[in-house]
Amino acid sequence: YQSANSFTVSKVTVQAVTCETTVEQLCPFHKPASHCPRIYCPRNCMQANPHYARVIGTRVYSDLSSICRAAVHAGVVRNHGGYVDVMPVDKRKTYIASFQNGILSESLQNPPGGKAFRVFAVV
CATH of the domain at 44: 2.170.130.20
Residue 78 within a domain: yes
- DSSP assignment, residue 43? S
Residue 56: inside a domain: yes
pLDDT tens profile 52-111: 999 999 999 999 999 999 999 999 999 999 999 999 888 899 999 999 999 999 999 988
- Rounded Cα distance, 37 and 25, in Å: 13
Query: Residue 67's domain spans which residues?
Result: 14-121
User: Is 23 inside a domain boundary?
Assistant: yes
Total domains in the fold of the chain:
1
Is 3 part of a structural domain of the chain? no
2 part of a folded domain: no
User: Does residue 37 fall inside a structural domain?
Assistant: yes
Question: Are 119 and 76 within 8 A, CB to CB?
Answer: yes
- DSSP codes of every residue in 3-42: -S------PPPEEE--TT-BHHHH----TT---PPEEEEP
In a domain, 38, yes or no: yes
Which tens digits make up the pLDDT trace of 7-59? 666 677 888 899 999 988 888 666 555 668 899 999 999 999 999 999 999 99
